[in-house]
Amino acid sequence: MISPHSLTPLEAAIELDRLAHEIKRLDGPYNHPGMTPLASDTEYDALKRRHAAIEAHFPNLVRADSPSKQVGAPPAEGVSTIRHRIPMLSLDNAFSPGDVTEFDAKVRRFLGLAEDAALDYVAEPKIDGLSINLLYEGGALVRAATRGDGAEGEDVTANILTLPESELPRRLGPDAPALIEIRGEVYMAKADFLALNARQEAAGDKLFANPRNAAAGSLNLLNPQITAERRLSLFAYAMGDASEPPAARHGEYLERLKAWKFKVNEEIRHCLSVAELLAFYEEIGEKRKQLDYEIDGVVYKVDDLELQRRLGMVSRSPRWAIAHKFPAEQAATLLEAIEIQVGRTGALTPVARLTPVNVGGVWVENATLHNEDEIARKGVRVGDTVIIQRAGDVIPQIIGIVVDSPRGPADFLFPDHCPVCGALAVRPEGEVIRRCTGGLTCEAQAKERLRHFVSRNAFDIEGLGEKNIDFLFKIGRIKQPSDIFSLEATERNILKDVVTIWSEHKGRKVSDDPLSEDFHYHTDKLGILPLIAFAGWQEKSVENLFSSIRARATVGLERFIFALGIRQVGEATAKRLARHYGTLDHWRDAMQSDTEEALAELTSIEDIGPAVAKDIRDFFAEDHNRETVSDLVAAMRALGGRVEEAKRVEASSSPVAGKAVVFTGTLITMTRPEAKARAEALGAKVVGSVSKKTDYVVIGADAGSKAAEAAKLGVAILSEQDWLTLIGG
């Protein structure tokens, strides 16, 4: 695989696009309880690791649909949900001792700690189960929810109460805070998993792929009695919101959990160095097979809770913890075919179709081959026996061919034309990705853009999954985003016309028999049929879709920006743009302005460099794109919707909310990354360069040119102490 350091920015952007597409495609079955994962944890981790490596080398290319920005999955449709008081985050992953060493170094850099300064950690086995959030008020358990998408999860209170008191205390001790969220992992012990599958087999029912899948499916059953029969277990290990801190250190908090009668994992160790963390990792790896529960790695957490608070989080994960995953598992199978997928930006990605093989409890039948250079480098042919590695929870990789096995008849010839639209597929000199030049005339690209538009972190429209997008695109109902919000009106008009035709022919209403051959014959005059006339489309499902679309006609600016699918504009970048410009009109006008001042303002935003700025401005330079945005806004307004202003901290609660702030020079009381994180938490807009629109420039030692530029422009200059006084310390 080509190192991220060897990629050009364009090549990196293309690969990030491909990775995001693959992870999204396979993420659903892994995150939704009861569905069999399409790939293993190891496969998922490898894809996310590759993605994270590219993002680390190209920070300006961070995408909104990046796997590194996702937390779990949305709650299932029709299930009651509970909003977490504090988000439940995912963890970044480490795969080597070097990754763990770098994690420790990052923590120290953020906090300004010397390499030899004391820094305590707690190391815990990473239980392979289902995260749970338990809310206690007045010491009593009142609600339980799964992690869901991190912000809200599914209400599983009735099912969690099937656990015995020894696993789940109904009341805490008298020393408990008035309110506290206790978090842990619901899992199924190996012995209970084997017994469950034995019962499933005896009854002729489908077997569960692994204990995690069994635990997740059991916790979400509609019948709590069946959940009780499946014998779930619970380890408590974390804290969400609390009315008052129950401890000063994570290790102390675990002891409080024990005192409240929670089951806390016995294989937990207090560590004083990276060497001790790695020693624990090796020891627990040796014990892994003897444990009566599945683990897939070790979690390292900063012990001091105040340091955890200071470290805070990035977009989807805490800075103070990391998961050190166990090595990937491998298996050999036959490479039956290589198919080319076309992404929304036209990237041609080869995907291997395999003879299904079980790798660590997960059946694998697809694997990524990345690009044509990777196929050539690995020398794989259709008909080869190949080694598959599960490198995460999403999609596996082909490591290479099995030596001395029979070879396929011929090398794979990568196409130079799009397999979907037939347009020329070009590969610019120095790049690794071949791309379809069909643009919007390519059906694959058009559909992928629509899938992106309705995806979870964009407009998040229920009922418009991949299958329905494909269908509605095929019959011509939805070709561009605005068609989604016009779909109901279009459908009502079609039904009205069909009723007229039907009444003229039979004197009957369309509802009498909308699926009859006679009905289809006579509505051919229109050249189009109402959705309820297609097999599988019931009137209720159509109405539910319309309801879902109406519910999303109002959306936040950051989601709107991300949904447009502008190259290099990921979720983090979309949020920064929304926070900086505030409203759609302000952002759109600024992006269409060709003045130097407008460009300077755009590139002053944190993490938006010239390349990202160019892609955004190029998007608005196209007449078609400007029309698409205008049509979309109009269609949303026709349903009573709008694009909401960016959410900001109220000025009354923060003196710097909405203010543009530049930090320069060396700070004394905190590092610059910590200062930026704290300012953003207070609603400030941290920008990278000084302009007339900058409100404050905070200077440390050796401030340099930015301080001089601020003085020249008359921007308020604050010392570090002035800044701390302004924000209240």
Helix (H) or strand (E) holding 108, with range, is helix 97-111
Helix (H) or strand (E) holding 296, with range, is strand 295-302
For residues 395 and 45, the answer to whether their CB atoms sit within 8 Å is no
Angle between helical axes of 211-219 and 190-202 (0-180°, round to 10): 80
State how far the Cα of 304 lies from the Cα of 88, in Å rounded to an integer: 19
State how far the Cα of 663 lies from the Cα of 675, in Å rounded to an integer: 8
DSSP-assigned letters across all residues of 425-440? EE--TT-S--EES-GG
Residue 673 makes CB contacts below 8 A (sequence gap 6+) with: 109, 110
CA dihedral 604, 608, 614, 619 (to 10 degrees): -110
Angle between helical axes of 584-592 and 596-604 (0-180°, round to 10): 120
CA dihedral 14, 19, 22, 28 (to 10 degrees): -130
CA dihedral 237, 243, 247, 252 (to 10 degrees): -20
3-state secondary structure 132-160: EEEEEECCEEEEEEECCCCCEEEECHHHH
Q: Is 126 a catalytic residue?
A: yes
For residues 310 and 674, the answer to whether their CB atoms sit within 8 Å is yes
Phi/psi-derived region of residue 67, left when phi > 0, alpha when psi is between -120 and 50, beta in every other case: alpha
For residues 85 and 235, the answer to whether their CB atoms sit within 8 Å is no
Q: What three-state secondary structure class fits 277?
A: helix
478: tokens are: 């939805």
Beta strands across the sheet bearing 233-242: 140-146, 130-137, 179-187, 233-242
Instruction: Name the active-site residue from 24, 69, 126, 325.
Output: 126
Residue 78 makes CB contacts below 8 A (sequence gap 6+) with: none
Q: Nearest to residue 576, comparing CAs of 62, 194, 104, 169?
A: 62
> What letter represents residue 172's amino acid?
L
| Local structure of residue 209 (DSSP, 8 states) | S
For residues 42 and 360, the answer to whether their CB atoms sit within 8 Å is yes
State how far the Cα of 277 lies from the Cα of 298, in Å rounded to an integer: 9
489: tokens are: 């009106």
State how far the Cα of 602 lies from the Cα of 689, in Å rounded to an integer: 10
Residue 180 has phi, psi (to 5 degrees) of -155, 140
Angle between helical axes of 623-638 and 584-592 (0-180°, round to 10): 170
> What letter represents residue 315's amino acid?
S
Alpha helices in 582-700 (DSSP H): 584-592, 596-604, 610-621, 623-638, 672-681
276: tokens are: 């001790």
Q: Cα-atom radius of gyration of the chain, to the nearest Å?
A: 27
476: tokens are: 């011509």
Residue 354 has phi, psi (to 5 degrees) of -115, 155
Active-site positions?
Answer: 126
